[in-house]
Amino acid sequence: MNSKPTIVVAGEPYSIFFEILFKSIKKINSSIILIASRELLLRQMKQLNYNFKINLIDKDKINLKEIKKKNINLIDVNFKFEKTFDKISDKSNSYITECFKIALSLLKTKKYSGLINGPISKKEFLRRKYLGITEYLGSKTKSETTMLIYNKELSVCPITTHLPLREVYKHISKKKIVDQVTLIQKFYKKQFKKNPKIAITGLNPHCESIFYNSEEQKFIIPAIKHLIKKGFNVKGPFAADTIFMKKQIKTYDVVVGMYHDQVLTPAKTLFGFNAINITLGLPFIRITPDHGPNSEMLGKNTSNPQSLIEALKFLDK
């Protein structure tokens, strides 16, 4: 088991993250340092009828020997919230920014197993400056990143992330495919001591186009040939409508697709909440549970904590 505690940024205050955190702490024995508002934490604990002991931590004087399992070790980010719990807006942006600032500062010390963050509204927090938190953290750490939705049976990676479909083809290139597959291989070799078997999809239906110079011909096939020459265990391009059939997926560790829903939709259908979103390429491991803020479920105490449990277990290995 990993003796290092995990840094947890609660993220969007108007989300179900505290609910699934409370449920996760009750089920597993992980050491965490939560970066969040004490006021909001106590309010949601009361509303949801949980009673955890809060161990307040000074971010400038952290003694790791004082971190207690089954307690909430909290770095309090003081912020005044509205009384209601059902509205996501840009009023929380400075709070979320401060939480990440503290987390990134702590992670530079290498004393922590990694970072988990709760869901964050891309529309309000990122304000079109970044496609997602993957890119936000990449920018803050000056890192080239990629998104891996990990499950021990099969992981998936989209070459492009939160783009409108009409923009996807503009952001596909041989270099981007090669760079992201390289990050995946490095991760699997470091984390699991294996050279992963990787399937790469095409962009167009059946990997073909009625037009000349399809993306398969221009970018995807040249990238696959280059990777094979370099010793990568890759094959493709595969049609996205058949690669996730049972006989196919048993052959591979990772399916790399060209856009977000091309691979995340089948992955979520197969594994539900038993998957975690890992950002590759950062100087630390960052994981986010595979769900959104889901603010319409706030206060109902019916949300599934499994993805956060899997994230905590992964960093506790």
Tell me phi and psi for residue 208, to 5 degrees: -150, 165
Instruction: Say yes or no: do domains 1-143+282-317 and 147-275 share a fold.
Output: yes
Locate the domains of the chain by residue range: 1-143+282-317, 147-275
In the sheet with 54-56, reading across from the earlier edge strand, the strands are 54-56, 72-76, 32-36, 6-9, 115-117, 286-289, 276-280, 146-150, 155-158, 254-257, 198-201, 234-238
Most confident of 33-47, 66-80, 286-300: 33-47
- What pLDDT shows up at residue 84? 47
Range 309-317 average pLDDT:
89
Average pLDDT, the chain: 89
> For helices 306-315 and 17-27, what crossing angle results, to 10°?
60
| H or E element that contains 257 | strand 254-257
CATH 3.40.718.10 fits 1-143+282-317, yes or no: yes
Range 77-101 average pLDDT:
76
**Identity at 42, one-letter amino acid code:** L
The whole-angstrom distance between residue 294's C-alpha and the CA centroid of its chain comes to 16
Q: Which fold has domain 147-275?
A: Isopropylmalate Dehydrogenase (3.40.718)
* Stated pTM of the model: 0.88
Would the pLDDT of 292 be above 70?
A: no
Confidence class of residue 78 from pLDDT cuts 50, 70 and 90? confident
- For residue 276, which of 143, 51, 118 has the smallest C-alpha distance? 118
Specify whether the CB–CB gap between 274 and 307 falls below 8 A.
yes
Range 248-261 average pLDDT:
93
- What pLDDT shows up at residue 208? 81
Query: What count of other Cβ atoms lies within 10 Å of the Cβ of residue 82?
Result: 12
- What pLDDT shows up at residue 178? 98
Confidence class of residue 130 from pLDDT cuts 50, 70 and 90? confident
Cα–Cα distance, 316 to 208 (Å, whole number): 44
